[in-house]
């Protein structure tokens, strides 16, 4: 029972292995081996097994591509810097220092520096308490983080990650400032999650040395780093940035510039599907439960609370401006209603759920009538939806947008797209990725499942290439 609860119903192998051992223990060697072989044969034919093998192969593929990029780097990245301390800057500084790459952490005031150092120290303390590090190694790692209030010493830096507030005007000023202090070969990266890399490069003297380097929060835990190529970004800038991501132990995926890049571009259609469900009378707790049973680590309401409703509303505006034909709001969605009521999610303890801290200080979600009351005048009367309809209305917008990214060459391959969503969003690994999920059911079936919702929004309308592929019986893998 314990193993089954830990593995979850979507991963049958652990429980099957225990059962095979229990049955085999009562028998002789030859009969026990027959049970083991039969168990293996059954498991090998499951969807989970096929998809996890596919996931392994895709992971090997992106590792090979990142190593290929790294080999092209003509100069090493030995010293780095992060602009903007705080939680994100502190996380980047910790990750760099813990992997042996010294890093300057600059902020405009001591409060920011203190916050960034505190974040790095907190992460290191957890490792010491869990026995994964010693006090001596903690001191050594933290000493690789050099706090700074000025650009003194930036001439020695090989790569800079800008992680200041998500405001294009501020970012442009900061990037231009730091460019004037570093050596000509230094690579500048922006940790922006939505702002156009080409727009941020406008005021730079050396735009060929600039690209996006989008970390996911929390930095130490999320494997993915999106490396975003702008129109003027050079191969060397990409190669050296990928090399740095590899040095940090991350999974870099190179994508081309567009609003939201890859992961956020496909995440917001998923959130839009959620908002349309709530508008039409669905219960957000019911939607969360269905999507968690489907395999997501958390449902959309909970995820929005973790992301931050203020962040989500801001990013959705960027996406709507970039893709007005599909992502402009035609009604007032639930995240906007809650945000305007001062509910920001986990960061202030009030979102779709309320949050209380457990004994370890971790936020625990608590259902509340408050959010239902705030949403009542903006949504239809309560209505039950089948699990299949909830899944379709959530997943079709995400999947079709990801297909558009492949067709537009924002991402180079289905494997890279799938791994980006698994490593960046926690897409269910046992499903192998969005493209494997589409292939498994077949494009024809996917298109038929989208038809009933085509009038809801352009987000549910499949592409011409998808229709042509379906006619020709093609798959993505």
Angle at 430 between CA 427 and CA 432, to 5 degrees: 70
* Chain centroid to CA 159: 23
Active-site annotation, residues = 214
pLDDT at 196: 94
Which pLDDT score is estimated for 32? Answer: 84
Whole-angstrom Cα distance, residue 119 to residue 122? 5
CA dist 364 and 346 (Å) reads: 9
The reported pLDDT for the residue numbered 4 is 60
**Residues 422, 264 contacting (CB under 8 angstroms):** no
Residue 2: how many other CB atoms lie within 10 Å: 7
User: What phi and psi values does residue 126 have, to the nearest 5 degrees?
Assistant: -60, -40
Closest CA to 300 of 314, 281, 284, 282: 284
Residue 223's SS3 state is coil
pLDDT by residue for the chain (477 residues), tens only, comes to 556 666 678 888 888 888 989 888 888 888 888 988 999 999 899 999 999 999 999 999 999 999 999 999 999 999 999 999 988 999 999 999 999 999 999 999 999 999 999 999 999 999 999 999 899 999 999 999 999 999 999 999 999 999 999 999 999 999 999 999 999 999 999 999 989 999 999 999 999 999 999 999 899 999 999 999 999 999 999 999 999 999 999 999 999 999 999 999 999 999 999 999 999 999 999 999 999 999 999 999 999 999 999 999 999 999 999 999 999 999 999 999 999 999 999 999 999 999 998 888 888 999 999 999 999 999 999 999 999 999 999 999 999 999 999 999 999 999 999 999 999 999 999 999 999 999 999 999 999 999 999 999 999 999 999 999 999 999 999
Amino acid 86: pLDDT = 83
User: Burial of 246 by CB count in 10 Å (0-12 exposed, 13-18 middle, 19+ buried)?
Assistant: buried
Cα–Cα dist 199/32, whole Å: 65
153: Cβ–Cβ under 8 A, 6 or more apart, which residues?
Answer: 104, 146
At residue 5, the pLDDT reads 62
Q: Show Cβ contacts of residue 412 under 8 Å, excluding neighbours closer than 6 positions.
A: 254
Amino acid 7: pLDDT: 67
Nearest alpha-carbon partner for 466 in 431, 429, 441, 430: 441
Measured CA to CA, the distance from residue 312 to residue 328 in angstroms comes to: 14
Q: Strands 210-215 and 224-229, how do they pair?
A: antiparallel
Among 398, 384, 469, residue whose Cα is nearest residue 433: 398
Tokens of 184: 């000509």
Largest CA distance in the chain: 75
Give pLDDT, residue 151: 96
* pLDDT at residue 284 in the model: 98
Coil, helix or strand for 8? coil
């Amino acid at each position: 029972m314990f193993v089954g609860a830990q593995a979850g119903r979507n991963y049958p192998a652990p429980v099957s292995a225990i059962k095979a051992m229990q049955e085999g223990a009562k028998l002789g060697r030859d009969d026990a081996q027959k049970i083991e072989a039969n168990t293996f044969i059954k498991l090998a034919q499951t969807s989970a097994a096929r998809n996890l093998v596919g996931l392994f192969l895709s992971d090997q593929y992106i590792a090979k591509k990142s190593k290929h990029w790294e080999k092209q780097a003509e100069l090493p990245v030995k010293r780095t810097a992060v602009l903007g301390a705080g939680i994100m800057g502190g996380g980047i500084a910790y990750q760099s220092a813990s992997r042996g790459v010294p890093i300057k952490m600059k902020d405009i005031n001591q409060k920011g520096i203190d916050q960034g150092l505190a974040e790095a120290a907190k992460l290191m303390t957890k490792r010491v308490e869990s026995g994964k590090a010693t006090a001596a190694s903690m001191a050594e790692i933290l000493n690789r983080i050099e706090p700074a209030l000025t650009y003194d010493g930036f001439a020695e830096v090989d790569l800079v990650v800008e992680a200041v507030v998500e405001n294009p005007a501020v970012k442009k000023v900061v990037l231009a400032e730091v460019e004037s202090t570093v050596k000509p070969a230094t690579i500048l990266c922006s940790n922006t999650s939505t702002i156009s890399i080409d727009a941020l490069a406008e005021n730079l003297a050396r735009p060929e040395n600039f690209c996006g380097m989008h970390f996911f929060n929390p930095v130490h835990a999320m494997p993915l780093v999106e490396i975003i190529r702008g129109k003027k970004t050079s191969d060397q800038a990409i190669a050296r940035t990928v090399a740095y991501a590899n040095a940090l132990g991350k999974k870099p995926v190179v994508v081309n510039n567009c609003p939201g890049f890859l992961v956020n571009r496909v995440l917001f259609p998923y959130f839009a599907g959620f908002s349309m469900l709530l508008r039409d009378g669905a219960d957000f707790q019911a939607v969360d439960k269905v999507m968690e049973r489907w395999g997501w680590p958390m449902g959309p309401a909970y995820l929005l609370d973790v992301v931050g409703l203020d962040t989500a509303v801001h990013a959705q505006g960027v996406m709507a401006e970039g893709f007005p034909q599909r992502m402009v709001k035609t009604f007032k969605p639930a995240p906007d209603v809650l945000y305007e009521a001062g509910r920001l999610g986990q960061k202030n303890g009030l979102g779709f759920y309320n949050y209380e801290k457990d004994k370890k200080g971790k936020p625990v979600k608590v259902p509340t009538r408050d959010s239902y009351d705030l949403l009542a005048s903006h949504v239809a009367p309560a209505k039950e939806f089948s699990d299949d309809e909830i899944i379709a209305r959530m997943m079709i917008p995400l999947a079709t947008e990801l297909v558009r990214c492949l067709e537009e060459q924002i991402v180079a391959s289905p494997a890279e797209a799938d791994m980006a969503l698994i490593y960046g969003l926690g897409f269910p690994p046992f499903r192998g990725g969005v493209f494997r999920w589409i292939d498994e059911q077949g494009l024809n079936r996917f298109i038929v499942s989208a038809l009933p919702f085509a009038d809801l929004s352009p987000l549910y309308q499949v592409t011409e290439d998808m229709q042509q592929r379906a006619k020709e019986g093609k798959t993505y893998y």
